[in-house]
Structure 1
């Protein structure tokens, strides 16, 4: 049959395999290394000279919150904190608030059995209310910080678990060379050479018992406290801790703001560091003052956060562990430090 023939079979071309699009792998880019800023040499020299020429045992430390530099003189030597240590009690209270273990609105009652010694203005309220005064945790904490009320501080100390709880907070936040003592009663009676009795919290009983001690007993106890204070802290560690507080590394944002705002409303030590702070700067602080004996004072301190008009902040710790210098001479040391910080900021 004409036209009839076999048809060639053309094999199918294999389908090309299309490779999936290459996946982009994100390579993490490390943040740029922070710019190294040297501390102002004039500030460092002023601080070194001021401490070197001060007649007594003293240490000073300054930290730039924004630039990270630190300067100090005798900054690693532990000095008696006295009421500076109320700062760590406050942080421990606020840390427990952050954990939901307490609220600043919780009621808190202070009775005659809670009274301590020395500066305790709340004792008058306790007496006026028949031996018992009820407020809130937040209000009592404000009194402890802004009025340096020893009884308010001790009440909060035992509320959060006593000295072990505060020491654990310091350790957990890696605050370094900072000790916390046994509480107001034992710290002050031990410094005087006395064994604590609760009757010392009333009237002039503590002063009378201390005055009745032999001079050599008092001197031995006083010198032992200065040589190795159970509440001792290094100024450099304190300044670094305040810088970390300011940067929000120690507490929640709300608790950080509460504490800094409260420190800014402090009523104590108006002629210490605050006495040289310019009116357009913001300053929050905590003072501390120890006992006097034979013309010497065991602990005369002020620590705080200085903020310039442009928002740059500096933390400072001026701690005088032992001195016979007059109070105006102690203020002069503190004012020298503040003036040098302000000058460094303006020249920076």
Structure 2
């Protein structure tokens, strides 16, 4: 009964955000932060190899405290330590775009994309712009979700106010507006259109199954800290590859690339995630994701010495939303330091690196 009351309270609290005008619902991630808390795993867990409905698998058990981590010394060892998954699954992938050197922890394991999927959705729309299918001045109605039962198939929606594609892209990336995202998704032909674009781009390990209204409505049915739901998931390595290619102009025109990267540079969510411990002289363009018991942040970090780092961080568990945010910030700082040899040398030599603290 307590669980039922919690779910009913969650729906009631979210209803105001879901059906509010766009200006009041720009950051639906904050609504999730207020409502959802960590849920315990099922008693006794799930037997290894169990397959649940919808392509859902039990997650591998975290390493026991004190277990030897299969990473070397230095940068890899520090990253493996800060991304320790003893309190929930954590996946990280990063690549230095100046030399192609990459690093990852559980980088090939699927994680919920949550709102980080919006990078792929906007990229697919912008590819349509490059092909002449759309124009940034085209206008589309935002899509407003209607009440429906969780797990009952695609969530019904109705058309709302009309905005230009440029406005919808900004609403999607900067403010994580779900209604605007579904407007772009409807325009390009739904989740399968994004999957086709990812396939064309050669991005494996990432899949889009539901629109955002359905994803939000069904959130909480699976605990991502203990279970892998393959729907709407990505591996950190796949997301890092997507980010690197977008930054390097592999799939979009220079104009479309600029539209996406500009919006990411103005992202208004997740101030305590990647940006939390990154120094002021670094530039961050990113996109956050938040759902029940999971938080993520992905993007490009331009370091003080001119390096560009594509980074994807997916965190589950950690006991609370602040715990997940803090873990993302620590991981991002570790990656930032690791890709700058002078900072690594200072740290390994025991010197205090106060210049990067904030």
Name the CA distance, whole Å, in 2 between partners of 1:307 and 1:40.
Answer: 26
Query: Alignment partner of 1:63: what SS?
Result: strand
Q: CA separation in 1, counterparts of 2:107 and 2:253?
A: 28
Look up the match of 2:218: 190
Cα deviation per residue 1:20-69 (whole Å; 9 max; x = unaligned)? xxxxxxxxxxxxxxxxxxx9963221211122255101101111111101
Cross-structure match for 2:76: 44
Pairing of 1:26-41 with structure 2 (within 5 A): none
CA displacement at 1:225 relative to structure 2: 9.9
Counterpart of 1:323 in structure 2 is 317
Determine if the alignment matches structure 1 residue 76 to structure 2 residue 108: yes
Partner of 2:258: 257
Counterpart of 1:284 in 2: which secondary structure?
Answer: strand
How many Å separate the matches in 2 of 1:331 and 1:309?
23
Match of 1:171 in 2: 199
SS where residue 269 of structure 2 aligns?
coil
Deviation at 1:344, TM superposition (A): 2.6
Which of 116, 120, 134 is residue 145 of structure 2 equivalent to? Answer: 116
Whether the aligned pair in 2 keeps the contact of 1:191 and 1:222 (CA below 8 Å) is: no
Q: Which of 335, 338, 343 lines up with 2:332 in the alignment?
A: 338
Q: 1:52 aligns to what SS in structure 2?
A: coil
Q: Which runs of no fewer than 5 residues in structure 1 stay unpaired?
A: 1-38, 119-130, 193-217, 292-296
Distance change (3 Å), C-alpha of 1:173 and 1:117:
farther
Secondary structure of the structure 2 residue equivalent to 1:115: strand
Q: Contact 1:191–1:225 (CA<8 Å) still a contact in 2?
A: no
Alignment size in residue pairs: 261
**Normalising by structure 2, what TM-score?**
0.68
Query: How far apart are 1:237 and its partner, in Å?
Result: 1.1
What per-residue deviation string (whole Å, max 9, x for no partner) do you get for residues 159-209 of structure 1? 0111111110110001111111211232233345xxxxxxxxxxxxxxxxx
Higher Cα radius of gyration = 1
More moved, 227-236 vs 152-161? 227-236
Alpha-carbon distance in 1 for matches of 2:214, 2:226: 12
Q: C-alpha distance in 2, partners of 1:346/1:135?
A: 43
TM-score (norm 1): 0.70
Q: CA RMSD in A?
A: 2.4
Partner of residue 179 from structure 2, selected from 142, 151, 163? 151
Query: 1:85-114, CA deviations, whole angstroms, 9 ceiling, x for partnerless residues?
Result: 01110000100011111011112233xxx2
1:122-180 per-position Cα deviation (integer Å, ceiling 9, x unaligned): xxxxxxxxx85222011111101110011100111010111111110110001111111
Matches of 2:217 and 2:259 in 1, distance apart?
32
The residue aligned with 2:132 is 100
Conserved in 1, the CA contact under 8 Å of 2:269 and 2:288? yes
Q: Which runs of 5+ in 2 are unaligned?
A: 1-70, 148-158, 343-358
What secondary structure, in the 3-state scheme, does the structure 2 residue paired with 1:227 have?
strand
1:62–1:239 contact (8 Å) kept in structure 2: yes
Partner Cα separation in structure 2 for residue 281 and residue 241 of structure 1: 21
Alignment pair present for 1:307 and 2:293: no
Mapped partners of 2:146, 2:100: distance in 1 = 39
Counterpart residue number, 1:285: 286
Deviation per residue, 1:302-332 (Å, 9 max, x gap): 1110002332100111102x31522332223
**Cα distance in 1, alignment partners of residues 225 and 328 from structure 2:** 26
CA distance in 2, matches of 1:88, 1:105: 20
**Residue 51 (structure 2) aligns with:** none
Separation of aligned partners in 2, 1:344 and 1:256 = 27
CA contact (8 A) 1:62 1:71 kept: yes
Describe the shift of the 1:54–1:265 C-alpha distance in structure 2 as closer, same or farther (beyond 3 A): farther
Query: Match of 2:47?
Result: none
- SS of 1:59's equivalent in the other structure is strand
Pick closer, same or farther for the CA change 1:289–1:135 going to 2, 3 Å: same
